Structure 1
C-alpha cells in the first residue's frame, strides 16, 4: 500500500507540475485552456471554476493541457485570437517547452530542500574490494582514498559513483587516482572489458566492484530456516576459517559461499571464547542466470570504520540553491549522455526502467524517510524533463522541433509530415516502453 501511495503521489506531483508549466505560459500568451487533466481516461473528478475544466482521470501515467485550437474543432470567430494555432511560432515554442522546464525547475527546489538540511555523505574511502571484479584486477586495496575519477576530483562516495558513470559512458576504461594506506599516490585503471557484458553494465551504473562499507567476520543476522541457521550458526559467532584456510574478510567468505553451491564446507567459528567446527552445504540458487551458493547469513558492520566514513556537508540558503542548481544540471546532462550512448550502443537498453521499477523505488525511498523520497522525486523530475525535450514526435521536444523548422522555413511543416512523424514517434516510444517493462519484470521477478 505504501509503495502504491508513494508512486501515485510522485506521479501526481510531477505530472501536475509539468502540465502547470504548459498552462501558466499558455495563459501568459493569451491562449484559452479548455481542459487541464491529470491522468488519462474517463474523468473521475471534474470542476470548472472559470473557463478551464480541471479533471482527474484513473490512469495515472501522464496528463495533458487541451487548448483552443482550430485544427481540433470549430472556434468562434471572436475567440480565434486565443487559439493556440494562431499564436506566433515563438509563443507556441514557449508553451511547449514550459512543461519540461517546469520539471527541471521543480527538481532544483526539491534538491534545494534536501541540501539545505545538510547532506549526509560518505568519504571516498574504499572499505571493501569485491574479488574477481574490475576493481580487484585494477589493484584497489581496502583503505584506499579515491582522489579523482577520469581527472575529476571527488570529495564523497556519491561523487565517485557519478564520475564513474559519466566516464564509463565515454570509454570502457576508467582511470582513477588514489592515496593508499601509506599515503602514496597511485594510478589505478578499471577495465570492465575482460569481465564481460554484466561487468560493463555494472560499471556504467557506477559499480566496478568497490564498496565504502566494511564488515566484521561476525554473524549479525540469520535467515530463519536458512542453511546457516539449520547448520547451527548463531548471531555473534566469529568466523575464523573454512576447510582449514583462515578467512581474511567477510567479502572473502561471501565469495567462497557463492562459488560453492551444493558443496560441503567446514566452518570454524569462535563462540563464547571457544572454537568449534560447523558443517554446512550452501544452497544452490539462480541469480541473474548464474547458479550461486546461499546460506542466509548477514554480517556485523564495522562501526569504527563507519564512523570514519560519515560526515555531513552543510550549506547556507544561497549555497544550497547553487548546489541544487548544479546538481540538477549535472543530473540532466548525465541523462542526456546516457540516452546518447544508448543510441550508439555504448549503454545497454537493460539500464532502462519502467513504471514498475519506479513504483518499487518510490516505495523503498518512502520507507527510508522524507529526504530519500525527495531525492527520488527530484531524479524522476529531471528524467521527465529531459525525456520530454527529446526531438521525438508526440513528445514536447518533437513539437519544438516542428516549430524550429517553421521558424527557419517561414512556414509550418506540412500536416502529412507531422502525421508521419507522430506515427514514427509513437512506434519508437512504444518500443522503449516495451524494453523498460521487460527490464522491470526481469529486475523484480528474476526473469
Structure 2
C-alpha cells in the first residue's frame, strides 16, 4: 500500500508535470527544425528502451520510452540524442541530403532550431499563467505595513505601521508578494527600502536577517526577513479579474519575475549568501509535485509553469550538451567563419556531459539529505 500511495501521490503528478514540460520543449525543437527543412528521425518522450511508438508519413519515429526523466528530438545526421553532429556521416551525404541535417543546415537555422526548445518552455509558462489568471483572477495585497516586529531589522531601521512600501533598491513594488519575493532572496545583504509615510518619501537601509522557515508541507527553507507583516484589512486583500490582454501581460510579468528571481538566487549562490542545498533534483521535484497536487489542479499547473521556466533557463546554460552550449558553439562559428574542429567539439561535449552528471549527482544528494534530514 505504501508503494501504491507513493506512486499515485508523488510519481504520477511528477510524471504528468515533467512530461508536459518536456513535450513542449522538444516540440519547439521539432517544429522549428521541420520549418527549417531539417529531417527528424525520432521524437522521444523519455529515455531508454521504447515502450510504445509509431512512424508518421515523414519518417519520424514518435515514441514513449521507459525512463520519464526527459526526452529528445534526434535529427538526420545526429550522432546521438544530444544533437552532436556525426561528421563521418555528413561527409558521406550529398549536398541535398546535408541540407536536411542539423549539422549541415545554415547557421541561423541551427541556432533557431536549438533556441526553440527553451523559448517553448517560456511560452508554456506564459500560457499557463495567463490561463489561470484569466480564469481564477489575480490575488493581490497592497504593500502596506500592518505590524512591525519589535525584534526585526525593519523596526531598527525606522519602519512604522501604516508605511506603504514603494521600492526596494530602486525597483518599484506593487504588491506585498513583490516585497516578500525580493527580500527572501537577500539574507545578510543590505537593501534600500523606500516607503511612503503620509506625504513624505523615506529611504531606509536595512539588512534582511537569515531565517529558517517551514512551509505548509513541513519543508525547511532558508530565507531573508525584515520583520514586517501585512493583514487582510491593511493590505486590502482581493482577487482582481483580468481580461485576456491583461492576463497575458501579467503572465509575461510573472514569467519574467521567475527568471529574475532565479538569477538573483544564482548570484547569491556565487557570492556565498545563498545555500546550495536549495538546489533540488528529480526526487525533490517529485515530492513537491505530489505536495502541490493536494492543493488542486490550478496549483499543480502553476508549479508546471515555474518548472518550465527553470528547465528553459537550465537548457540555456552555456554547457556543451545543453542547448546553451550548442548556441555558444554556433556563436564561435559565426565569429570564426567556420565551425570548431570535430575533435574540439568531442572534447567540449565530454566536459559538458561530466558537468551535467556532476550537477545531477549533487542535486540528488541534496534530495536525499533533504528527505532524511
The two structures have a TM-score, normalised by structure 1, of 0.69
Cα gap change, 1:85 to 1:439, in 2 (>3 Å): same
CA distance in 2, matches of 1:356, 1:174: 35
Pair 1:7 & 2:24 matched: no
- Is 2:212–2:222's contact at 8 Å kept on the other side of the alignment? no
| Corresponding residue number in structure 2 for 1:82 | 100
State the shift of 1:349 in Å: 1.7
Please tell me whether Structure 1 or Structure 2 has the larger radius of gyration of its CA atoms.
1
- Which of 188, 191, 199 is residue 174 of structure 1 equivalent to? 191
Answer whether contact 1:123 1:311 (CA < 8 A) is retained: no
Aligned partner of 1:46 in structure 2 is 53
> How has the CA–CA distance of structure 1 residues 362 and 207 changed in structure 2, closer, same or farther, with 3 Å as cutoff?
farther
1:152 matches 2:171: yes
The answer for the alignment partner of 1:68 in structure 2 is 76
**1:339 matched to 2:266:** yes
Residue 331 of structure 1: how far off its partner (Å): 2.0
In structure 2, do the counterparts of structure 1 residues 445 and 23 end up closer, same or farther at CA, with 3 Å as the change threshold?
same
User: 2:35 matched to 1:28?
Assistant: yes
In the alignment, is residue 97 of structure 1 matched against residue 24 of structure 2? no
Residues 371, 436 of structure 1: CA spacing in aligned structure 2 closer, same or farther, 3 A cutoff?
same
Residue in 2 that maps onto 1:264 = none
RMSD in angstroms over aligned alpha carbons? 3.1
Residue 11 of structure 1 deviates from its aligned partner by 0.3
Per-residue CA distance 1:282-324 (angstroms, 9 max, x = gap)? xxxxxxxxxxxxxxxxxxxxxxx56964211222111211221
Q: CA deviation at 1:344?
A: 4.5
Indicate the SS of the match to 1:382. helix
Counterpart contact for 2:144–2:234, Cα < 8 Å? no
Q: Structure 2 stretches of 5 or more lacking a match?
A: 1-7, 79-84, 214-219
1:191 to 189, 207, 225: 207
CA gap 1:371/1:137 in 2 versus in 1, 3 angstroms: farther
Q: Does 1:395 align with 2:326?
A: no
1 CA distance for matches of 2:305 and 2:239? 20
CA deviation profile, 1:260-291 (whole Å, cap 9, x unmatched): xxxxxxxxxxxxxxxxxxxxxxxxxxxxxxxx
Q: Does the alignment pair 1:416 with 2:343?
A: yes
Equivalent-residue separation in structure 1 for 2:305 and 2:297 (angstroms): 12
**Is the CA contact (8 Å cut-off) linking 1:150 and 1:163 kept in structure 2?**
no
SS of the residue corresponding to residue 85 of structure 1 reads coil
CA distance in 1, matches of 2:33, 2:115: 11
User: In the aligned structure 2, how far is the partner of 1:60 from the partner of 1:308?
Assistant: 43
How many residues are treated as equivalent by the alignment?
348
Q: Name stretches of at least 5 consecutive residues in structure 1 with no aligned partner.
A: 214-304
The alpha carbon displacement at 1:127 in A equals 5.4
8 Å contact 2:47–2:65 — kept in the other structure? yes
The residue matched to 1:54 in structure 2 has which SS?
strand
- SS of 1:94's partner is helix
Q: Deviations over 1:6-52 (max 9, x none)?
A: 11111000000000000001101111111101111111111112200
1:162 matched residue in structure 2 = 181
Write the distance in 2 (CA, Å) between the matches of 1:103 and 1:427: 25
User: Residues 397, 389 of structure 1: CA spacing in aligned structure 2 closer, same or farther, 3 A cutoff?
Assistant: same
**TM-score computed with the length of structure 2 as normaliser:** 0.82
Alpha-carbon distance in structure 1 between the residues aligned to 2:68 and 2:169:
41
- 1:416 is displaced (CA, Å) by 2.0
Instruction: Give the Cα–Cα distance (whole angstroms) in 1 for the partners of residues 341 and 172 of structure 2.
Output: 50
Residue aligning to 2:3: none
Report the CA distance between 1:197 and its aligned residue. Answer: 8.7
